[in-house]
Structure 1
Amino acid sequence: MSTLPLLHPSVRVEVAELTGRNLRKIMREPTLVFFSLAMPVIMLTLFSQVFRSVSQSSDFPAGVSYIDYLLPAVLCTTLAQSATTSSTAIATDLEEGMVDRFRSMPIHAWTVLLARNLSDVVRGMLQSLVMLVLGLAVFGFRFHGTLLEAVGTLLVALPLSFALNWLFIWIGVLVHKPETTQIAGMLVTFPLMFASSAYVPIASLPGWLQVVAKVNPLSYTVDAARGLALGHPDAGAFWKSLLVATVLACVSVAGATTAYRRIDR
């Protein structure tokens, strides 16, 4: 029986080397690191203050502070937002000729894309950890559940983050232009973030927007993370989130790898 491609030693080395290369490149750009951290911090600060009165509405969960309601959503939206840099990064590599160098090397084509994804997932998780520390130390956030549920709050968004990274890598390979991919990323992430259960209860949204929010995949992930953070796990939201992430990842992996192989063919 042949070894699964991802388990082959040479593939593991390729993915590790390329992932390390991507992370080192990020760390050599302090302005990128700064603004990647600054944006979610600003959003956490603004939303925790501007929408604080939402906790007084009848639709809001009883006995829950707004920061406890908000922070699990910010962890999820931070990962969703960080995924957009996958498209910009792969488009930049294409524009600067780095991908041509990769294609001239004896490495598997899809490991370049997988390494791009993994490095951006790591960066997104570090951003989320910064948000969590700030929430605990500055904004008064507290977990209501067990330690295991607290860990789950941090990890539950990873499948969707992984899938969104693949989607944006696909966009980056198709578009080739970093500036254009940034706009495309905003067009995807803004509806995901604001037409969801992230910042206010769905019941408080206009009727037509409630319909959109209820089928928004980010709503499933936010509800799953929020349920864990508040000590009331929502198994239905978790499985819906995982299912959507799996389908999106499969479609995006196929699309991204096919588009990558067709470059300059």
Structure 2
Amino acid sequence: MSTMAIRNTGTLAWRTLVQIKHNPMELMDFSIQPIMFLLLFTYVFGGQMAGSPREYLAFALPGIIVQNLLFATMNTGVGLNTDINKGVFDRLRSLPIARFAPLAGRIVADVIKQAWAVVLLLAVGALLGFRIGTGPLQALAAFVLLLVFAVAASWISVLVAMLVDEPDKVQIFGFVLIFPLTFASSAFVQPATMPGWLQAFVKVNPTSVLADAVRGLLTGGPVAGPVLHSLLWAAGLLLVFAPLSVRAFRRRV
């Protein structure tokens, strides 16, 4: 990758981040909505699930972070589809910039937003009583793992954005895919409480694997297996969806 391409990507990533000033709804997606989910899950379900909100917070916060991360990856596809339909990519294509810079810039900007959301949830969780029970290196490893998985999963929304004609369809696809993946997982409840046939799905669900890995890195418990499986899932998503997305991107723009 040339220096010019890197600069182009950085410039377009900054363009996407600056747009937040003109579109406060994006701030809600990455700031207010995650906090609302955290408060609702902790204080509405906490007493029933774990006996007290604080006890449930220790279990559920990693799952809430993972859920928010997966939903937020759909914003990458929504933003790309919106820019294409508004003719932004046509204008960018006439400029002397790297052809892939608009796509890379969008992904980089959304990963930065994801990083902000993770830090925000951990900070609010700390105010509510959540404590990291491991150490700084494990917490940093959880943070990096989440962002790696976010980059890999975002290629799914990129592919969908290239195949559909309206941003709303990207969102609809996201809800249809991510809702069952996040709730039929170990993100919010112990799989042992589920029917046997559902437990089989939960065990291989990438949401469960990632939530277990983050939970182990932040609060203690098994780490090696969940982290390895999370990285394998991320590599698989990247290897499958990145080439398909790039091919569809070239055809579309």
Which TM-score band applies after superposition, normalised by the shorter structure? over 0.9
Instruction: Determine which of 13, 16, 19 is the counterpart of 2:10.
Output: 16
Contact 2:114 2:147 in 1 (8 A): no
| Distance apart, 1:47 and its partner CA | 1.1
Aligned twin of 2:77: 87
Measure, in 1, the Cα distance between the counterparts of 2:33 and 2:197: 29
State the alpha-carbon separation in 1 of the partners of residues 17 and 107 from structure 2.
Answer: 11
**Aligned-pair identity (%):** 33
Task: Verify the 8 A CA contact 2:30 2:116 in the aligned structure 1.
Answer: no
Q: Which residue of 2 aligns with 1:60?
A: none
Q: Any unmatched runs of 5+ in structure 2? A: none
Partner of 2:41: 47
Q: Distance in 1 between matches of 2:82 and 2:200?
A: 37
Deviations 1:71-114 (A, max 9, x none): 11122222111111111100100110001112223333322212
* SS, match of residue 216 in structure 2: helix
Gaps of 5+ in 1: 1-5, 57-63
Total equivalences in the alignment:
250
Q: Which residue of 2 aligns with 1:162?
A: 151
Match of 1:65 among 55, 65, 69: 55
1:35: Cα distance to partner? 4.1
Q: 2:245 aligns with which of 236, 256, 259?
A: 256
Correspondent of 2:192 among 203, 211, 218: 203
Give 1:236's aligned amino acid.
G
Shift of 1:233: 4.6
Decide whether the 8 Å contact of 1:88 with 1:182 is kept in 2.
yes
User: 1:191 and 2:180 equivalent?
Assistant: yes
Q: Distance in 1 between matches of 2:223 and 2:38?
A: 24
- Spell out, residue by residue over 1:205-239, the C-alpha distance to the aligned partner (whole angstroms, 9 max, x if none): 22222111111111111111000111235111101
**Which residue of 212, 217, 234 corresponds with 2:206?**
217
Q: CA deviation at 1:155?
A: 2.5
TM superposition score normalised by structure 2: 0.93
Aligned residue in 1 for 2:66: 76
1:107 aligns with 2:102: no
- Equivalent residue runs for 1:2-41 within 5 Å: 6=1, 8-41=2-35
Distance 1:140 1:246 in 2: 34
CA contact 1:159–1:246 (8 Å) conserved in 2: no
Other-structure match for 2:113: 123
Residue aligned with 2:252, SS: coil
Mapped to 2, the partners of 1:92 and 1:148 lie a distance apart of 39
| Letter aligned with residue 36 of structure 1 | F
Asked if 2 retains the 8 angstrom alpha-carbon contact of 1:87 and 1:169, the reply is yes
8 A contact 1:220–1:240 mirrored in 2: yes
Distance 1:17 1:246 in 2: 27
Runs of at least 4 residues off by over 4 Å: none
* Per-residue deviation, residues 33-89 of structure 1 (Å, max 9, x unmatched): 134322211111111123322225xxxxxxx92111111112222211111111110
Aligned equivalents of 1:92, 1:242: Cα separation in 2: 31
